[in-house]
Chains A and B, each alone.
Chain A
Amino acid sequence: GVYSKDYGPQFAHCNKTVWNPVGSGLSYEDFDFPIFLLEDANETQVIKQCYQDHNVPREGSVPEYPLCAMQLFSHMHAVTSTVTCMRRSSLQSTFSINPEVVCDPLLDYNVWSTLHPINSSGKVEPEKEFIIVATRIDSHSFFWNIAPGAESAVTSFVTHLAAAQALHKASDVHLLQRNIMFTFFQGETFDYIGSSRMVYDMEKDKFPLHLDNIYSFVELNQVALRNDSVLWMHTDPVSRMNESVDVQVRNLLDTLKNSSLGANVTLQEPGYSQPLPPSSFQRFLRARHIPGVVLTDHRTDFQNRYYQSMYDTPENVRMQYPEGLSPEEMLEYVTDTAKSLAEVATVVARALYRLAGGAADTSAIQADPKTVARMLYGFLIKMNNSWFQSIIKPDIKGILGDVPQHYVAVSSPVNTTYLVQYVLANLTGTIVNLTKEECLNPEKTPSSEREMYDYAWVQGSLGPNSTSRVPYCVRSTVHLSKALSPAFELRQWGSTEYSTWTESRWKEIRARIFLVASKELEIITLVVGIVILAFSLLATYFINAKADVLFGLPRDPGAVAY
C-alpha cells in the first residue's frame, strides 16, 4: 500500500483502522501437511463408510485395529520462498536442455477500454486528460482455484461494466472534454499485480497513457452490501494536505454527491482522519499524488464477513432467486441485488459524465438492471448461459462450463479475463457490417483504423429454431495489457516494492484410503518369519550333516545328502 513511515506514518501498518477484523489470515500460513476440499458427496461417502465400519469406538472404548487410514499426496515442487524457487527455475532454464521449472509467477491480463478511441500502440499527448475508473476482477480463498469472490470482486466489476454501458449510451459522448478509461485490474488480491504493472508501464512509457494524463481516479471496491443504501467515499488524507490536490478531490466528491440526487444512494464521507482502504488507487498514489476516491459500502471495517473466502458466494450478497426457475429464466430475473448495483452504477456513470465535462442533463444516463442481473448470473452462478455463449468468439467456447471462480492463475488469460473482455466489448462496442474475413484481418480494410479499435468475430445467439448461430463482428476499444508484476521483469525476486507471488508446480494430487494393521501384528509377523528361517536353516544343516545316520545308507565319499 501507499502508507509507510515516509507517507502518512500514522496510517501505516493498520494503526488507525483495521479493515478486516474477522479475518484469520489462514491462507498466508504455512502448513506442512496437505489439506483437501471434497465437494462431491460420493467421495465423502466412501470416507464416512470406512469410518463407520472400522473407526467408531464401541461401547466407549478405544477402537481396535485394523483401523481406517487415509494418505494424501500433494507434492509441491517449489520450496522455501519465491526467491529460491525462481532462482532454481532460472538456472534450469538457462543451463538445462530439459528445464524443470518449479514455480510460475502469477500472471494474467488487465482489461482496459476508453470512451473515445485512442491509439493503443502510440502515445497520448500530455495535455489530454483522462479519468480512470478501476475495479479488481479477481479473488482468492484458502483452496486453489476456488474463489467465488462475490462481494470482494464480482459485484464491483459488474457495477463498473454497467456504468460503462450507461456512459456509452449517452448522446453527446463524443463531445466530452476528457476521456474516460475503464480499467479492470487482474491480480489485485496478490499485492496489486495488475495495478502495479500498469503504473510501472506508465512510468516507463510502455503504455499509451502517462501518469501526467490522469486527471482523477475513481475506484469501486466492495459495493454490494450497503447499509441503509449509504455509499462511502474514501479519500487519502495525506495527499489532500496539498492545496491543489485537495481542491480537485473536493470537486470530485461534490460531483459524486450531486449525481446521487434522485437515486436511492446516499453518498457520505467517512471522515478526514481515515486512511484509504486497501485498493488499487494506493499504487497510483505511490507514484503521483492524483486526486481520487474509493467507493465502498463500509465505513471502517468491511461489511463483507467472508472477504477472500470460499464462502463469498451469491448468498453472501443476498442474491436470491425464487424456486423453480429454469436457467434461462434465472438469467433474466432481476434480483434486488441487481437493482441496487444498477443504482450505484447509475450514480457513478452520471458523476463520470460530469467530471468529463458533460453539461447536459444527466437523467437520461441510467444503468440497466437487466444487464446487471444477467452479468451477476453469469459471473456468480452459471457461466455457460445463452448470453455469454452469444458474445464470445467461436474458438474459445470451451471456457464456459465450470463453476464460476475468479482466481488469477498462472496460465493466462483466465476465463474471467476473457469474459470481462467480451462483455465489455458487447456493452460498449458497436456492431459493424464486416464479413468474417474482414473482421479477422482488419488491417486489410483501409478504413478500419486498426490501431484505435479492436475487432472481434463473435458467435452470436442461436437462431429461432436453435440450430445454428448468427455470428457478427463487434468493434470496440477494449484492449488487454499484461499484468505481470514488475519484480519479475526486473528479476528482483526478493523485491519489497512489487508483488512477488508465485505458484508452485505440482504433479498428481491424489489420496488413498486403506486399513492399517496394529504394530504388534506386524512385529509378530516379522519375528515369526525370522524364527522359521533360522530354525529351518539349522535343521537342514543338521539333517544334511547327519544324513547317513538318518537314512542308513552306506556313506559314499564325495556324495552329498541322502
Chain B
Amino acid sequence: PALGLFLFTIARDPLRIIILIAGAFFWLVSLLLSSLIWFIAVKASDPRDEPLQKGLLIFGVMFSVLLQEAFRFLYYKLLRKAIEGLVALSEDGCSPISIQQMAYVAGVGFGLMSGAFSMINLLADSLGPGTVGIHGDSQLYFLTSAFMTMVLIFLHTFWGILFFHGCEHRRWWEIAAVVVMHLAVSGSTFCNPLYVGSLVPSYLLMAAAATWAYLLSGGSAQNLRRFLLCK
C-alpha cells in the first residue's frame, strides 16, 4: 500500500518528493535520539535484571513515541516557514502546494521510514532456509510483522493529516489525541506474541483515524457513496 500511495500520489511532483524525504529524515533523527537514550539507559543498568530491562524497553518506546511526535511538530513548523518561501518564489502569489497536501506527504514520509526500519531487518533475516521458532516463538511472525508495519504506515499518514490540522487550527485536543493514539498502538505491541492483542486494536484505531482524517479533508458520507456508486 505504501508503494501504491507513493507511486500514484507523490512521485509525479518533485516538491512532494522533497517533503517526503525530509519527513522520513525527521523521523529517522527522532528515532536516533530516542535510541541513544535507550542505549545509554541499558548500558548503565544491569543487563541480567529481566524486569528492569523490560521496564527500560517500555520506557524507551514511550519516550520514542513522544520524541517522534515532537519531531512531527518541528517539521510542521519548518513546513510553515517553507510555505512562505514558496509563496514568495511562485509566480501567482499562492503556494503550489497546500498545507494539507504537505501534511499528507509528511505523514507518508514518516510512515515509510518507520515501515522500512521495521521490515528491512526482518526481510534480511528471512532469507535462507530457516524460519522463526526454534526458541519457541510463533510461526506467524513474518505475517504479523508485515501486517503491523502496514497498519503503522497508514496510521502515520493519517496522524500527519490530523496533527497538522490541529496545529493549523490551534486545536490542541487533536494533537493530544494523535499522541495518545500513537502511545496506545505502541503499547499494544507489548502484548505480542499474543498477536490478537496488538493487531486488532491497531486496525480499529486505524479505521477511526482514517475516518477522522477523511472528514477533516473535506469528505463526507455522501461523497463516499457517490464515489462507490459512480464506479
Contacts and interface: CB of A to CB of B under 8 A. Distances in A.
Looking at chain A, what size class is its interface with the partner chain? Answer: 35 or more
A560 interface: yes
B100 to A, nearest CB: 6
Contacts of A529: 146
Contact of A66 (B139, B217, B227): B139
A71 B129 CA distance: 9
Given A50-B134, A514-B131, A528-B143, A551 B4 contact: no
Contacts of A468: none
Interface of A: 50, 65-66, 68-69, 71, 512-517, 521, 524-525, 528-529, 532-533, 536-537, 539-544, 546, 549-553, 560-562
Interface in B165-194: none
Given A514-B131, A515-B131, A562-B100, A550 B224 contact: yes
B226 A551 contact: no
Nearest to A66: B133
Given A541-B8, A562-B104, A517 B219 contact: no
Given A66-B133, A560-B9, A562-B217, A536 B230 contact: no
B28 interface: no
A68 B4 contact: no
A516 B130 contact: yes
B101 interface: yes
Given A69-B129, A525-B143, A551-B217, A561 B9 contact: yes
A249 to B, nearest CB: 64
Contacts of A551: 217-219, 223
B3 interface: yes
B122 to A, nearest CB: 12
Nearest to B2: A536
Nearest to B136: A53
Contacts of B8: 537, 540-541, 544
20 contacts: A513-B134, A515-B131, A516-B131, A517-B133, A525-B143, A532-B1, A536-B5, A537-B8, A540-B1, A540-B8, A546-B227, A546-B230, A549-B223, A550-B224, A551-B217, A551-B219, A552-B218, A553-B218, A560-B13, A561-B104
A68 to B, nearest CB: 7
B130 A536 contact: no
Interface in B1-40: 1, 3-5, 7-9, 12-13
A542 B229 CA distance: 13
A533 B130 CA distance: 25
A68 B140 CA distance: 16
Given A540-B4, A552-B219, A532 B150 contact: yes
B45 interface: no
A532 B151 CA distance: 12
Given A50-B134, A533-B3, A549 B139 contact: no
A515 B134 contact: yes
Contacts of A516: 129-131
Nearest to B132: A515
A543 B230 CA distance: 12
Contact of B9 (A515, A540, A549): A540
Interface of B: 1, 3-5, 7-9, 12-13, 98, 100-101, 104, 128-134, 139-140, 142-143, 146, 150, 214, 217-220, 223-224, 226-227, 230-231
Given A550-B227, A561-B9, A539 B130 contact: no
A50 B135 CA distance: 10
A66 B219 contact: no
B226 A562 contact: no
B132 A550 contact: no
Given A66-B139, A550-B219, A552-B219, A539 B131 contact: no
A543 B219 CA distance: 12
Given A541-B8, A550-B219, 15 more contacts: A69-B129, A71-B129, A514-B130, A514-B131, A515-B131, A515-B134, A521-B140, A537-B7, A539-B4, A540-B1, A544-B9, A549-B230, A550-B227, A552-B220, A562-B104
Contacts of A512: 130
Contacts of B146: 525, 529
Chain A CB count within 10 A is highest, among B1, B100, B128, for B1
Contacts of A524: 143
A533 B142 CA distance: 16
Contacts of B142: 525
B130 A69 contact: yes
When A and B form their complex, which 9 residue pairs have the shortest distance between CB atoms, in order from nearest?
A: A514-B130, A536-B1, A540-B4, A517-B131, A536-B4, A537-B4, A515-B133, A551-B218, A544-B8
Contacts of A50: 134
Contacts of B128: 514
Contacts of B140: 521
A515 B224 contact: no
A540 B5 contact: yes
A423 to B, nearest CB: 50
B134 A521 contact: no
Nearest to A524: B143
Contact of B223 (A517, A521, A542, A550): A550
B156 to A, nearest CB: 16
A517 B139 contact: yes
B20 to A, nearest CB: 13
Interface centre among A65, A71, A561 (most CB of B within 10 A): A561
A13 to B, nearest CB: 46
Contacts of B226: 549
A512 B134 CA distance: 12
A69 B143 CA distance: 22
A249 B103 CA distance: 106
Contacts of B4: 533, 536-537, 539-541
A537 B2 CA distance: 9
A480 B113 CA distance: 69
Nearest to A538: B4
Nearest to B98: A562
A528 B143 CA distance: 9
Contacts of A525: 142-143, 146
Contacts of A544: 8-9
Contacts of A69: 129-130
